[in-house]
């Protein structure tokens, strides 16, 4: 797959890239995972700035370790050190960063902040998570599905839970890669019209089906069953109310039995065991949640190699 030229580009949304380019990222991730030593100096003397407004285990460790393993260096910077757009304007930060580092990864609340940094800065900006999207997570998810099933086109992924940033990026990735994605959620918690419209438009080119359902029966025949926490960061005060509305959408052994016989279970973590998923499912042989977490490292290394010009 040739795809679009990626060196110097931003990754704000998976829809920023065509199907071939996303396929190339996944292919490279598999190469990096299989032969890490071949890429150990690919980003030598390159520096990634990492900006965090939200706590992180997987995002911080995988990006920082990934840069180190590729021969580069990562700088960890939080909103406590100086919130971008408050202590200093976004434009001024962007123009400083492009003179110091080779790329920036941002994990923020505001999606608009990442879009603005991408627009104003000459270096690649990577979306490490916003309230709207989580593209790097979805890349790791589809890498895991690819490893488990051998191909992606025509596979069915059932996402059970809130129509949040993870759901949005899964829809975007599925649309580009030909994966049928069904978001199964209580009434009132589906992805919004803008997210659905964008995914449907992209899916028209690949034949992927992007659907919303409000009954757990929609997991029938799924190749992968995926869930996430019911209340995301910033929604802690809604947790009790959400728990009541989502309790019928817990992924348990009965739900997995309704999916395909060889269906895998996925979760972006951290998991609230006993809420959105039971330990029986999370710890079962069908669960690939830790392989999925590992794949954050490999998928993001592929992104950094392509965007920062390491390959």
Q: What are the catalytic residues?
A: 107, 134, 137, 228, 268, 296
Angle of helix 135-149 versus helix 165-177 axis, rounded to 10? 50
Name 80's Cβ contacts closer than 8 Å, sequence gap at least 6. none
How far apart (Å, rounded) are the C-alpha atoms in residues 111 and 12?
A: 9
Count CB atoms within 10 A of the CB of residue 53: 19
N- to C-terminal Cα distance for the chain? 15
What's the Cα-to-Cα distance from 249 to each of 80, 151, 229, rounded to whole Å? 37, 28, 11
The conformation of residue 71, written as its DSSP 8-state character, comes to: T
How far apart (Å, rounded) are the C-alpha atoms in residues 209 and 309?
A: 34
Name 92's Cβ contacts closer than 8 Å, sequence gap at least 6. none
Tell me which residue of 50, 77, 80 sits closest to 63, measured CA to CA.
50
What's the Cα-to-Cα distance from 156 to each of 50, 64, 127, 137, 265, rounded to whole Å? 34, 32, 26, 18, 12
How far apart (Å, rounded) are the C-alpha atoms in residues 139 and 293?
A: 11
The conformation of residue 289, written as its DSSP 8-state character, comes to: H
**Using alpha carbons only, what angle is made at residue 173 by residues 168 and 174, rounded to the nearest 5 degrees?**
95
DSSP 162-213: --SHHHHHHHHHHHHHT-EEEEE--TT-SPPHHHHHHHHHHHTTTT--EEEE
């Amino acid at each position: 797959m040739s795809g679009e030229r990626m060196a110097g580009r931003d990754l704000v949304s998976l829809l920023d890239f065509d199907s071939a380019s996303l396929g190339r990222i996944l292919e490279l991730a598999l190469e990096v995972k299989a032969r890490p030593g071949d890429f150990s100096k690919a980003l030598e003397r390159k520096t990634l700035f990492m900006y965090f407004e939200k706590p992180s285990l997987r995002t911080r460790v995988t990006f920082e370790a990934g840069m180190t393993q590729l021969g580069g260096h990562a700088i960890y910077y939080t909103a406590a050190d100086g919130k971008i757009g408050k202590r200093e304007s976004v434009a001024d930060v962007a123009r400083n960063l492009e003179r110091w580092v080779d790329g920036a990864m941002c994990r923020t609340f505001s999606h608009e902040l990442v879009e603005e940094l991408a627009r104003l800065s000459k270096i690649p900006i990577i979306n490490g998570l916003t309230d709207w999207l989580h593209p790097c997570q979805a890349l790791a998810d589809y890498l895991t599905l690819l490893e488990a099933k051998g191909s992606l086109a025509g596979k069915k992924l059932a996402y059970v839970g809130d129509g949040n940033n993870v759901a949005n990026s899964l829809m975007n990735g599925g649309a580009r890669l030909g994966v049928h994605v069904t978001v199964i959620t209580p009434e009132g918690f589906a992805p919004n019209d803008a997210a659905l419209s964008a995914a449907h438009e992209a899916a028209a080119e690949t034949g992927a089906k992007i659907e919303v359902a409000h009954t757990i029966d929609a997991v029938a025949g799924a190749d992968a069953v995926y869930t996430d926490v019911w209340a995301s960061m910033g929604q802690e005060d809604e947790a009790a109310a959400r728990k009541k509305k989502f309790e019928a959408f817990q992924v348990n052994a009965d739900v997995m039995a309704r999916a395909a016989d060889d269906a895998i279970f996925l979760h972006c973590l951290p998991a609230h065991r006993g809420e959105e998923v039971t330990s029986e499912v999370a710890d079962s042989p069908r669960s690939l949640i830790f392989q999925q977490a590992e794949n954050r490292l490999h998928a993001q290394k592929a992104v950094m190699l392509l965007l920062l010009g390491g390959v």
